[in-house]
Amino acid sequence: MRRITAAIIAATALALIGAASATDDGLWLFPASQGAGTIAAWSAQTGEADDQGGANQALLLERDVETDDNSAAAHFIGLEGQQLRVLSLAYEYRVKGGACTATDPRWALFVRGRSGRQYEVNLGCKLAPSSPGAEPGWVRKAFSRALVSGAVMAKGGSDALNGVVTGLALVFDRSLGHTYVDNIHVQSRIGNTWTFAGDNGGTVPPGGAVGFTPEQKALLAEPLTAAEQLTQDELFASLTPEEWAEIDAPAPY
């Protein structure tokens, strides 16, 4: 693995420094590496401008060794129990040397359907439309409410669409390489944007270790469906009028 640790800032410590000045929205981002040859951490002087200070941090997700279950991920805590229909997501990735494929980086959205069944919906970088980032050399990937709901519908039908979030992570685990992401945005009934580690929202971080559960690991290991490898336009065209009517309907609770 490339020796870039000098530029990496300890994410947990910096998440607490400045947390008091962040909006108390109850949403947290925690980078977590799993397995050999992986890095998930905030990195200084590699990103776009931060909303405080001059560190210009970006979130590095890197995987340099291919094994069955190693990953670099950013885990988002605080969305548990939120409805799927109002969820939208976005980030910007650095073009220079950065991967953007159907699998890496991707949002891994864990869902409990109304039936109680567990789903994992993959929203890869390739899926979302591209637009200019906040600074040159960066590309914005926006996963609108319609796009997230459409992907959930394609994966688990109305059972998943009418379910709730049980977990969310931005994952790099299928390719070898790395990506830098910045201006990471999550919006549900609550929302937050991360420009650096101190943007974690709330004054008391959740306790316990951060990582994937055994059930989530099993879901992550499943092959992507055909729908999960489409672009937004292709996915939207594949949905039936009946599915669109359900996507557009008000949430049942």
| Tens-digit pLDDT profile for residues 87-127 | 999 999 999 989 999 999 999 999 999 999 999 999 999 99
Q: Answer whether 9's CB lies under 8 Å from 55's CB.
A: yes
Whether pLDDT at 53 is above 50: yes
Residue 94's closest CA among 139, 42, 49, 45? 139
Averaged pLDDT for residues 39-66: 96
Whether pLDDT at 154 is above 90: yes
Q: What is residue 201's predicted lDDT score, i.e. its pLDDT?
A: 74
The reply to whether the predicted model has a pTM over 0.85 is yes
Q: What is residue 237's predicted lDDT score, i.e. its pLDDT?
A: 98
The token pair that represents 58 in the structure block: 């970006």
Whether pLDDT at 173 is above 70: yes
Confidence of residue 55 (pLDDT cuts 50, 70, 90): very high
Q: What is residue 210's predicted lDDT score, i.e. its pLDDT?
A: 84
Whether pLDDT at 217 is above 70: yes
Whether pLDDT at 253 is above 70: no
SS3 assignment, position 20: helix
Q: What is residue 10's predicted lDDT score, i.e. its pLDDT?
A: 36
Whether pLDDT at 172 is above 70: yes
Averaged pLDDT for residues 29-58: 95
Confidence of residue 157 (pLDDT cuts 50, 70, 90): very high
Burial of residue 49, with CB atoms counted within 10 A of its CB: 0-12 exposed, 13-18 middle, 19 or more buried: middle
Averaged pLDDT for residues 34-52: 95
Please count the other Cβ atoms lying within 10 Å of the Cβ belonging to residue 108. 23
To the nearest 10°, report the CA torsion of 34, 39, 40, 45.
Answer: 170
Q: What is residue 1's predicted lDDT score, i.e. its pLDDT?
A: 47
